[in-house]
Amino acid sequence: MTSNITKEEWLATLVGMDTTSRNSNMGLIETIRDALSAQGVDSWLTTDDKGAKANLFATLPASDGQTQGGVALSGHTDVVPVDGQDWATDPFVLSPAQDRFYGRGTCDMKGFIATAMALVPEFLQQKRSKPIHLAFSYDEEVGCAGAPFMLKELQKRNQKIDGCVVGEPTGMRVVVAHKGINLFTCRVHGKAAHSSLTPFGCNAIEHAARLICHIRDLADHYRDTGPYDNHYDVAYSTITTNKIAGGIAVNTIPGECQFNYEFRNLPGMPGEQIQAKIQEYVNNELLPRMQKEYPDARIDITANASAPALEASEQAAITELVRALTQDHETRKVAYGTEAGLFQQLGIPTIVCGPGLIEQAHKPDEFVDFSQLNDCENFLRKLSASL
């Protein structure tokens, strides 16, 4: 693909690539890389351990060639699965109908990437005193696993960025804060035995249940006592157990049980603080109880992924700029996570603003309105002009 590709054409190309998180996104990344290269824009990639997935970072320099500072436009290239969903159209073919584009990722968040890519030729022709950066990641949908590799490379290269806009679907409204997300796997190792010989076993499911109930009690504590932030639809930090497996037969005491839990913490409430309470219960109460039954019993908790919370400063230049360009001055905070907290953690002031509505994301017949893409295009034009 070369220059002068419309956002609709870009969106058709991006949606046509099945970048479900379990798959490679290399085809999409290489397509973007080659399109940028054809316009004289160099980019660099950071890959996963297998080289099957990649982040892409590119800089459109200022008029004087300056590459430091400026604003980054951030988006993730992976999408969630369509397994078991009843779609009216092929989810990996862009389908326009009734002033909407249907397809997996149209809303979350290939619409933003397509719009940004369509504007690259225009950005390159503008006289700007600051650069624009493109930061496209992998594996956001499985816990923001890819972006940290890109951000680490940014640090290594001493790349400076004045502000970042993460184009997650917000209806082109400004989101200044979101909760953190932390995903864990817990494996409870007991001792199997015939169910008629209960004293000779250590029931992993039953002890896992004790921990799950403790996690629920902790969740209830935050629900009842806070801290609270009423700008969120759920005003407190939440914890849930979402998946469990264990046991091999109805007449066998299970020696193994595994479950997954997550918590979404308010900004200002470190995720480490919540996890410490869970680990304290394991170390001080549950594990000693298990080891009275079976000395070699153990509980392993693995952190699978995490993304820090976002709390943007209203005084940050990027917040003031985006509010001015969108004429949106409402304080808006959301419970879902994004990569914005990762950029902020690196010292880059960041806000979230992009086309589409989060209510349409991850669902069958996902869509984005034509008008939302047009609003995004106008916003990005004004953003670039402001530089």
Report the pLDDT averaged over residues 89-109: 97
Across 128-157, b (16+ Cβ under 10 Å) vs e yields bebbbbbbbbbbbbebbbbbbbbbeebeee
Q: Which of 266, 291, 306 is the last residue of a domain?
A: 306
| 177-178 vs 100-102, strand pairing mode | unpaired
Within-domain flag for 156: yes
Quote the number of domains for the chain: 2
Say yes or no to pLDDT of 312 above 90.
Answer: yes
User: Is 70 found in the same domain as 82?
Assistant: yes
Q: What CATH number is associated with residue 247?
A: 3.30.70.360
**pLDDT exceeding 70 applies to what percent of the chain?**
99
For residues 286-315, average pLDDT: 96
| 35 in a structural domain | yes
Q: What is the pLDDT of residues 20-44, one digit of tens each?
A: 999 999 999 999 999 999 999 999 9
| Residue listed under structure tokens 């940014």 | 154
- Is residue 285 located within the same domain as residue 379? no
Residue 191: inside a domain? yes
Q: What is the pLDDT of residue 1?
A: 47
My answer on whether 197 and 288 are in the same domain is yes
Q: What confidence tier does 3 reach under pLDDT thresholds 50, 70, 90?
A: low
- Contact between 116 and 134 under an 8 Å Cβ cutoff? The reply is yes
Tell me if 101 sits within 8 A of 370, measured CB to CB.
Answer: yes
Look at residue 2 and tell me if it is in a domain.
Answer: no
More confident residue, 3 or 250: 250
Tell which of 255, 286, 306 closes a domain.
306
342 and 217 within one domain:
no
Cis before 131? omega within 30: no
Based on its alpha-carbon atoms, the radius of gyration of the chain, rounded to whole angstroms, reads 23
Q: Is residue 117 part of a domain?
A: yes
**55 and 22 both lie in a single domain:** yes
Question: Active-site positions?
Answer: 78, 140
User: Is the pLDDT at 335 greater than 90, yes or no?
Assistant: no
Q: Do 172 and 194 fall into the same domain?
A: no
Tens digit of each residue's pLDDT (9 = 90 or more) over 128-172: 999 999 999 999 998 899 999 999 999 999 999 999 999 999 999
Residue 186 sits in the same domain as residue 164: no
Whether 1 is in a domain gets the answer no
pLDDT at 336: 87
Q: Could you tell me if 69 and 154 lie in one domain?
A: yes
Q: What is the pLDDT averaged over residues 110-117?
A: 98
Say what the pTM is: 0.90
Residues 20 and 124 in one domain: yes
For residue 382, is pLDDT > 80? yes
The domain that holds 86 is classified in CATH as 3.40.630.10
CA atoms of 383 and 387, how far apart (whole Å): 7
Domain of residue 323 covers 7-177+309-386
Q: What is the 3-state secondary structure (H, E, C) of the chain?
A: CCCCCCHHHHHHHHHCCCCECCCCCHHHHHHHHHHHHHCCCCEEEEECCCCCCEEEEEEECCCCCCCCCCEEEEEECCECCCCCCCCCCCCCCCEEECCEEECCCHHHHHHHHHHHHHCHHHHHHCCCCCCEEEEEECCCCCCCCCHHHHHHHHHHCCCCCCEEEECCCCCCCCECEECEEEEEEEEEECECEEHHHHHHCECHHHHHHHHHHHHHHHHHHHHHHCCCCCCCCCCCCEEEEEEEEECCCCCEECCEEEEEEEEEECCCCCHHHHHHHHHHHHHHHHHHHHHHHCCCCEEEEEEEEEECCEECCCCCHHHHHHHHHHCCCCCCEECCCCCHHHHHHCCCCEEECCCCCHHHCCCCCCEEEHHHHHHHHHHHHHHHHHC
Residue 17 lies in a domain: yes
295 and 172 together in one domain: no
Same domain, 146 and 18: yes
| Same domain flag for 104 and 171 | yes
Report CA-CA distances (Å) from 279 to 27, 173, 253, 275, 331. 42, 39, 25, 6, 35
In a domain, 81, yes or no: yes
Question: Domain ends where: 306, 328, 353?
Answer: 306
Please write the tens of the pLDDT for every residue from 183-220.
999 999 999 999 999 999 999 999 999 999 999 999 99
User: Is a pLDDT exceeding 50 seen at residue 18?
Assistant: yes
Mean pLDDT of 102-107: 98
